[in-house]
Amino acid sequence: MKNQIILLLAIMFSLSGRIKAQESKVEQLISQLTLEEKASLCVGKATWHTQEIERLGIPSLFMTDGPHGVRINEGTDFTKPSVKATCFPTASLVASSWDKDLLFTLGQTLGEEANHYGVQMLLGPGINIKRSPLGGRNFEYFSEDPFVSGELAAAYIKGVQLKGVGTSLKHFAVNNQEKERMLISAEVGERALREIYLKGFEIAVKAQPTSVMCAYNKVNGVYCTENEWLISDILRGEFGYEGLCVSDWGAINDRVLGVTAGLDLQMPGDGGMNAQKIVEAVKTGKLDEKVLDQTVKNNLELIFKLSAKQNATTELNENTHHQIARRIASESMVLLKNTRLPGQENNLLPIDKSKKQKIAVIGLFAKTPRYQGAGSSLVNPTRLDNFLDALESTEDRQFSVCYADGYNILGETNNLLISEAISISKESDITIVFAGLPDSYESEGFDRETLDMPEGHNALIKEVANASENVVIVLQNGSPVSMPWINDVESVLEAYLSGQAGGSAIADVLLGDVNPSGKLTETFPQKISDTPSYLTWPGENRKTVYNEGIFVGYRYYDFKEIEPLFPFGYGLSYTDFKYSNIEIDKRDFTDIDTLTVQCRIKNTGNYDGKEVVQLYVKDVESEVIRPVKELKGFEKISLKKGEEKLVSLKLNPDDFKYYSTKYNSWKSDSGEFEILVGSSSRDIRLSQNVNLTATQKYYQVYDINSTIGDLAEHPLGAEFISGIRKMSQSRVNMEGLTDIEKEAAIKQQKMSEASMMEMPLKKVIVLSGGRISENQIMGLLNKINGAVRTSL
């Protein structure tokens, strides 16, 4: 242990020395750069490269798209094939694993492939909140919940960067739709911003991604790429981010304002146009050169941090990486339904491959899979598995397989295609239908128009289900779909967009080689009108108003008591898990304490399996409106048949807080909280109540529009108000009044005092007739606010 500590200290001192040497080198370079060279470093050279300066030995960095695979193209024509690279499952599927170790493995493997191609920075992961299931790019994002998004993104970032490759956490911020994404203003209240749309970034930033990508859109009227509050105040100031801020490709509105706000790098290049504007701004005094120097410093630090890998290439082990993609896909798929067969003990799935039976496979996706999304993340796979081939090549199988297309590539069907499907289905013991969303239904650049799958897919499923028993539906889609046939089929597997190995991974799950353990990180609604953003999606007049506030995803469905098709956190297994013995180390605690929540999970079924244990917190009675419950922890555990394990989860003080717009601060209130442990947001197995005592005092900053009642919250203000009350009460003389007159006087006194407490201070000045001046009020406010700032 002693030797390990000495080694760790040696590494730390060595790293510290290299950082100081780099800082010294960067400072020397800045002093040698001309103004024009400084400006050029703040704008990309071309589509995927930064500007180099050969005379000073400053190299160019190469970056490219890579949320789920390395995509290398010249320019931005996504229709041209990229270099061959492993196409891993998209974020919508990977997130369903709830497995941070799996995300770390994905990151490492992507880092290795980036090194193979000499890529210094991958443009991912994407963690925007899934505000609506209609978002065209939802397949690239993790969840509707910021906690699970941030935790999984942090694991991905650590994996990639362990290989010396940079990452770009995106899209900062509130980039939740594709319609008018370059112009739309997301109008969001600060509480929703803090609790939902920025929280995932705050969590992921703790992993210190090498860059954060600023989004196209505006937030409350200000472009993200020139939003000083977002970049400097929140990201760098509050979150403590130390890396580079880069624009999304073509997101720049005003480059000079961007530099002032803290945006370091514009991508792609523009032929020098904006670099010249930066030069002119410095020369005219519009931009302080010291501000520009800090931007240049951030760019140079990134360049020298990542340039060591510029010429480093590693062997691309295509087969190994393909198998990793297969494992990730199979461990992430979500079993949504699995009905017990009539008169039998077993459910329909898994399929017994040793049994002599006929299996009908229907649906074009079974042999021509939809395995990834469209747009900037499009990967050219090293190979592509399909389910039909995987099923037919199953070793030692006793079943036979027949196939019918069922629909065409556009999702259309006809009587002939349906007749062929029904015919082979009637002759088979089990029918597997592949359905979902074609490429043209969801993509970067446009949003979905409906929650429905193509009518041809739904019609096919309906006809096959009416004609046959034992029907399994396998879905290939990037986001939730409606299921009008859900009660007519026996089993449903959500495979999402499962990458190049998805066909084999689906076979692994259906045949029981892998026990499904994925759980949804987004709610599947019954219908689109049930969704939180339904009334304001996608906005109008280039504004989209987030009227639902903090009630996104399961927070909304819980609060409105709406039954979803499938809830957040839901997913079945081939085995069963029993939850028991919840224990919390403190029943009474304060706002600086950490709680440890423990429970026991036992595999009581017939298969080895994995379970995602989810921890939620409920504020029993709050001073402000809060969600019914919020996810604050999770852990995925592996249990052999009959095995039991102790699961331990931590709750930090921040897990009990909400963002108070009154106090402009994160705040917790004294009171009772319910700690909930379950298998999904709607399947809570254990609970225990605890009591929180808030010790921190919160005071708002007061101004001329604050009310007299507001001042009562601060000791100095309370003293002032006490004096006013005494003066007011001294004017009431009850002597000689009848009972009726006394009652009238008391009523008048109460009304006057209530009105006074709700009166803005500026009204006091007017109504006092000049006896209380504005200077007196401002003097009081300055005194109180001075005490507030000192206490903070």
Catalytic residue numbers read 248
Q: Give the Cα separation of 154 and 208 in Å (integer).
A: 8
The verdict on whether omega for the bond into residue 454 sits within 30 degrees of 0, i.e. cis, is no
Find, among 117, 75, 239, the residue nearest to 172 by Cα: 239
Q: Give the Cα separation of 693 and 520 in Å (integer).
A: 34
Residues 516 and 574 sit within 8 Å (Cβ to Cβ): yes
Q: Give the Cα separation of 300 and 308 in Å (integer).
A: 13
Q: Give the Cα separation of 104 and 157 in Å (integer).
A: 8
Q: Which residues contact 565 (CB under 8 A, 6 or more apart)?
A: 480, 482, 483, 486, 524, 525, 526
3-state secondary structure at position 151: helix
Residues 66 and 94 sit within 8 Å (Cβ to Cβ): no
Instruction: Give per-residue burial for 285-310: e unless 16+ CB within 10 Å, then b.
Output: eebeeeebeebbbbbbbbbbbbbebe
Q: Give the Cα separation of 479 and 398 in Å (integer).
A: 35
Q: Which amino acid is at 645?
A: K
Q: With both helix axes pointing from N to C terminus, report the angle between 318-330 and 100-116 in degrees, rounded to the nearest 10.
A: 160
Residues 116 and 163 sit within 8 Å (Cβ to Cβ): no
Q: Give the Cα separation of 408 and 388 in Å (integer).
A: 16
Q: Which residues contact 179 (CB under 8 A, 6 or more apart)?
A: 446, 447, 538, 539
Pairing relationship of beta strands 334-338 and 491-494 according to DSSP bridges = antiparallel
Q: In DSSP terms, which residues pair with 85 in a beta bridge?
A: 381
Pairing relationship of beta strands 244-247 and 211-214 according to DSSP bridges = parallel
Q: Give the Cα separation of 119 and 259 in Å (integer).
A: 26
Residue with tokens 């007159």: 741
